[in-house]
């Protein structure tokens, strides 16, 4: 491995590699000292057997055992140290990867919250400007109305001249204030557009699945616990449907990943078409999907699952390039309704267990957790 490649490795990975090399070297050195007459013992002026755990003949039979336990202790000590270093490095490496993903998710959530807050603040500023503009218009309308009444009641040239000067002054004042207000409105509009694009990109990158354009696993981890809490607080029903495309690996292996992705997109469209209102479809991972159904009882979720299953089964699938028939594509469904006092994880596990029951029972079926 080159020096540049080593520099790119994580320190924990380097520690794991060094521990493995040290372990191999320990066994090699020990093996050499077992078979060499001029071993490490000669350097310490000990007898040959002091460094030997056992001496064997060409047939593998033990001829004699070492008289000193230091060789055995050294061997096991070095091997134990190498194993512990390797285990610690592995824990640091894989634990850090998990932590990095968690930090990325938290950073994305913080970014979304910050952009949302900035957008709310900018909208509040815009509302203040509109309110200021309305108050300004009202004030000038009253001034013009009063000047008009005074003009009608005045007969002397001096008073008329004074009223005209007042109107000119008010007009200049209105022009300046309107110009300043328009500048602020344009600046606020540009800032809102910038925040809107930023928020849209953040949602698109962080909360949408790249293949199906449905909500992704991160969205579920953030929002499903909130739906569970809201349903429990309002004492309203909440159901979820977990769906898994049957034999999806076989489809990928036979027709390629492009066809597999197309099937996932079509299935996502089917889910989106059959939900409404606050219902949300999301890709849980791989070929698994989840449909979150607020204010929906188990019976309603079951009817929806059967409807989606039947529509998918009735579709005719063909390769989009060659026109080769793909065959029937089906899916299995597991459904659960939130129980009183149930945690988010347990709720999800019940639906997942019913999904596996559906697959174990022959696939292409809906099983509910009664």
- 66-116 tens-digit pLDDT: 544 555 556 666 667 767 776 776 676 665 544 444 555 555 556 666 666
Give a yes or no: residue 212 inside a domain.
Answer: no
Pairing verdict, β 325-327 and 331-337: unpaired
Residue that wins the pLDDT comparison between 29 and 309: 309
Q: Which two tokens stand for residue 318?
A: 């063909």
Give a yes or no: residue 97 inside a domain.
Answer: yes
Q: Are residues 194 and 228 in the same domain?
A: no
Q: Are residues 138 and 48 in the same domain?
A: no
pLDDT value of residue 27: 61
Q: Are residues 31 and 98 in the same domain?
A: yes
Q: Are residues 22 and 159 in the same domain?
A: no
User: Could you tell me what percent of the chain has a pLDDT over 90?
Assistant: 33
* CATH number for position 222: 3.30.70.270
Residue where a domain terminates, one of 75, 104, 133: 104
Q: Are residues 221 and 351 in the same domain?
A: yes
- Distances in Å between the Cα of 289 and the Cα atoms of 46, 69, 223 are 70, 61, 15
Residue where a domain terminates, one of 53, 71, 104: 104
Q: Are residues 54 and 92 in the same domain?
A: yes
Give a yes or no: residue 166 inside a domain.
Answer: yes
Give a yes or no: residue 265 inside a domain.
Answer: yes
Q: Which two tokens stand for residue 314?
A: 């009735």
Q: Residue 12: is its pLDDT beyond 90?
A: no
Active-site hit among 122, 135, 269, 287: 287
Q: Are residues 163 and 246 in the same domain?
A: no
Which stretch of 15-19, 152-156, 312-316 has the lowest confidence by average pLDDT? 152-156
Q: Residue 139: is its pLDDT beyond 90?
A: no
Mean pLDDT of the chain: 76
Q: Residue 325: is its pLDDT beyond 70?
A: yes
Q: Are residues 251 and 363 in the same domain?
A: yes
Pairing verdict, β 288-294 and 280-285: antiparallel
Q: Are residues 64 and 138 in the same domain?
A: no
Give a yes or no: residue 229 inside a domain.
Answer: yes
Q: Are residues 224 and 319 in the same domain?
A: yes
In three state form, how does the secondary structure of 80-149 look?
HHHHHHHHHHHHHHHHHHHHHHHHHHHHHHHHHHHHHHHHHHHHHHHHHHHHHHHHHHHHHHHHHHHHHH
Most confident of 40-49, 187-196, 262-271: 262-271
Give a yes or no: residue 278 inside a domain.
Answer: yes
Mean pLDDT of 18-47: 56
Q: Are residues 344 and 281 in the same domain?
A: yes
Give a yes or no: residue 66 inside a domain.
Answer: yes
306 is catalytic: no
Q: Is 24 helix (H, G, I), strand (E, B) or coil?
A: helix
Q: What is the pLDDT of residues 199-244, one digit of tens each?
A: 666 555 567 888 998 999 988 988 999 999 999 999 999 999 999 9
For the entire predicted model, the pTM comes to 0.51
Q: Residue 14: is its pLDDT beyond 50?
A: yes
Taking the C-alpha atoms of residue 78 and residue 26, their distance in angstroms, rounded to an integer, is: 7
Give a yes or no: residue 254 inside a domain.
Answer: yes
Which stretch of 20-24, 50-54, 153-157, 278-282 has the lowest confidence by average pLDDT? 50-54
Number of domain units in the chain: 3
Q: Is 288 helix (H, G, I), strand (E, B) or coil?
A: strand
Q: Residue 299: is its pLDDT beyond 80?
A: yes
User: Could you tell me what percent of the chain has a pLDDT over 70?
Assistant: 56
Mean pLDDT of 277-298: 95
CB count in 10 Å sphere of residue 87: 12
What's the domain range around 331?
217-368
Residue where a domain terminates, one of 87, 104, 121: 104
Q: Are residues 122 and 98 in the same domain?
A: no
Most confident of 61-65, 151-155, 326-330, 359-363: 359-363
Is residue 325 within 8 A of residue 280, CB to CB? The reply is no
């Amino acid at each position: 491995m080159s020096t540049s490649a080593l520099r790119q490795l994580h320190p924990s990975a380097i520690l794991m590699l060094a521990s493995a090399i040290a372990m191999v070297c320990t066994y090699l050195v020990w093996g050499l000292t077992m078979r060499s007459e001029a071993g490490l013992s000669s350097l310490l002026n000990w007898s040959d057997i002091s460094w030997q755990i056992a001496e064997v003949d060409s047939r593998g039979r033990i001829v004699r055992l070492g008289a000193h336990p230091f060789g055995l202790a050294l061997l096991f000590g070095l091997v134990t140290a190498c194993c512990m270093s390797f285990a610690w490095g592995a824990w640091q490496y894989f634990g850090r990867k998990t932590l990095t993903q968690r930090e990325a998710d938290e950073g994305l959530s913080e970014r979304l919250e910050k952009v949302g807050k900035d957008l709310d603040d900018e909208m509040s500023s815009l509302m203040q400007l509109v309110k200021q503009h309305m108050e300004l218009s009202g004030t000038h309308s009253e001034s013009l109305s009063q000047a008009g009444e005074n003009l009608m009641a005045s007969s002397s040239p001096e008073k008329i001249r004074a009223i005209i000067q007042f109107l000119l002054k008010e007009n200049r004042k209105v022009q300046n204030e309107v110009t300043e207000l328009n500048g602020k409105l344009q600046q606020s509009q540009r800032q809102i557009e910038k925040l809107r694009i930023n928020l849209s990109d953040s949602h698109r990158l962080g909360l949408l699945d790249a293949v199906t354009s449905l909500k992704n696993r991160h969205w579920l981890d953030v929002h499903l616990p909130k739906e569970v809490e809201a349903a429990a607080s309002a004492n309203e029903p909440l159901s979820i449907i977990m769906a898994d495309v049957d034999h999806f690996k076989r489809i990928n292996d036979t027709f390629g990943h492009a066809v597999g992705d197309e099937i996932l997109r079509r299935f996502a469209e089917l889910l989106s078409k059959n939900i409404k209102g606050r219902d949300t479809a999301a890709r849980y991972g791989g070929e698994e999907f989840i449909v979150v159904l607020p204010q929906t009882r188990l019976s309603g979720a079951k009817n929806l699952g059967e409807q989606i299953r039947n529509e998918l089964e009735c579709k005719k699938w063909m390769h989009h390039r060659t026109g080769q028939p793909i065959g029937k594509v089906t899916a299995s469904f597991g459904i659960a309704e939130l129980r009183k006092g149930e945690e988010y994880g347990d709720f999800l596990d019940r639906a997942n267990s019913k999904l596996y029951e559906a697959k174990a029972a022959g696939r292409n079926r809906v099983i509910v957790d009664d």
